[in-house]
């Protein structure tokens, strides 16, 4: 695809070569993400960060990525602080705010809303999550993490064995990741969830049409013994009609160190899009896994900055200019020594 000026709305936009291009640029961003260098390649550029649904990691990750490229960030959080509460359409909002920004990131609780917004925007729009539909940048950072973790074990994405665990019906992260995996070869996907929260049929059919092996089960123990990646998700309480309905499923697929030791291969990587629900009645990834070197959830979050920096650099056509506007840093930062 031609990244310059493009909206990033769905995984369906990408071919395998596009993914490789994004990952190559993300690799080149590491010195800047780790504060070994500073670049001002986007000095003067403005990111409109519009999040109409609660977010910590994604919102701050987008903003940090843009700041690390030298740009400025303007934020809108919550419906109550926007003119949408006065009846303004997404098209009108986009038409106006795109005049104040060079690129916009948007999260919205309704599926298809970010694409609708993009129709009115005069600048590129990046989808930060639209309801239970898609979360393309999360899928990209997830796959980038999978690639890095597998490389450490001499493996590649082709031939991946992955279990996706939890609320697969409402989990937009796993929806987008499955679509992305369709670009690769010989993948085994085990979908572990209650029947009521199963992966949508069209996504399962897409995986199988791509030639991948798909297993559907509600038994965790039998699903995690022969995999490379255990990808856990929380119960998406905000997608249910009530907390009481969500509580019916909370805590059903808990992974702790004891279960990991008993059932998983020694190098099985544990991933989660975060936030993990650490409340006692949920606790899908126990805190006793924090000392496990295969717990990749924080490396996963760090990788989000690299991938989002890459997308900004590609969409704004500065990927080949980043080093030209760089310099060494002059302050202490512990990230540089990690």
**Residues involved in catalysis:** 57-58, 86, 107, 135
3-state DSSP percent of the chain in helix, strand and coil, to 5? 40, 15, 40
Long-range contacts of 318-324 (CB under 8 A, 24+ apart): 318/41, 318/42, 318/69, 319/25, 319/28, 321/41, 322/28, 322/29, 322/32, 322/39, 322/41, 322/69, 323/39, 324/41
Residue 323 in tokens:
């080093």
* Spacing of C-alpha 112 from chain mean position: 17
Q: Cα-flanking dihedrals φ and ψ of residue 264, to 5°?
A: -90, 150
Q: What angle do CA 63, 64, 65 make, to 5 degrees?
A: 90
Contacts of 298 (CB under 8 A, 6+ apart): none
Going by C-alpha positions, the residue among 254, 259, 257 that lies closest to residue 235 is 254
CA–CA separation, 330 and 36 (whole Å): 9
The HSE-up count of residue 236 (CA atoms within 13 Å, CB side) is 25
């Amino acid at each position: 695809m031609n990244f310059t000026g493009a909206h990033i709305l769905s995984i369906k936009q990408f071919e395998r070569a596009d993914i490789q291009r994004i990952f190559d640029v993300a690799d080149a961003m590491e010195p800047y993400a780790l504060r070994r260098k500073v670049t001002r390649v986007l000095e003067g550029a403005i990111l409109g960060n519009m999040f109409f649904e609660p977010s910590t990691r994604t919102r701050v990750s987008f903003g940090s990525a843009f700041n690390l490229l030298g740009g400025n960030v303007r934020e809108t959080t919550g419906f109550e602080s926007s003119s949408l509460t006065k009846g303004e359409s997404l098209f009108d909002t986009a038409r106006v705010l795109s005049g104040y920004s060079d690129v916009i990131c948007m999260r919205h609780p309704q599926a298809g809303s970010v694409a609708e917004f993009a129709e009115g925007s005069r600048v590129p729009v990046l989808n930060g999550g639209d309801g239970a539909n898609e979360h393309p940048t999360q899928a990209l950072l997830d796959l980038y993490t999978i690639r890095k973790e597998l490389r450490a074990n001499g493996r590649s994405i082709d031939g991946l064995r992955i279990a996706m665990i939890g609320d697969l019906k409402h989990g937009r992260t796993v929806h987008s990741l499955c679509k992305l995996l369709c670009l690769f070869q010989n993948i085994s996907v085990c979908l572990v969830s209650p029947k009521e929260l199963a992966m949508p049929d069209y996504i399962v059919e897409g995986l199988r049409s791509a030639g991948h092996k798909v297993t559907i089960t509600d038994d965790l123990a039998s699903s995690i013994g022969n995999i490379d990646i255990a990808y856990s998700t929380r119960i998406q309480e905000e997608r249910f009609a009530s907390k009481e309905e969500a509580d019916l499923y909370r805590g059903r697929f808990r992974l702790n160190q004891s279960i990991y030791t008993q059932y998983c291969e020694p190098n099985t990587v544990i991933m989660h899009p975060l936030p993990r629900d650490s409340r006692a009645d949920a606790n899908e990834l126990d805190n006793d896994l924090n000392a496990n070197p295969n717990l990749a959830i924080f490396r996963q979050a760090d990788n989000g900055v690299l991938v989002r920096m890459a997308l900004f650099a590609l969409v704004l056509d500065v990927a080949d200019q980043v080093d030209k506007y760089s310099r060494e840093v002059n302050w202490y930062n512990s990230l540089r020594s990690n």
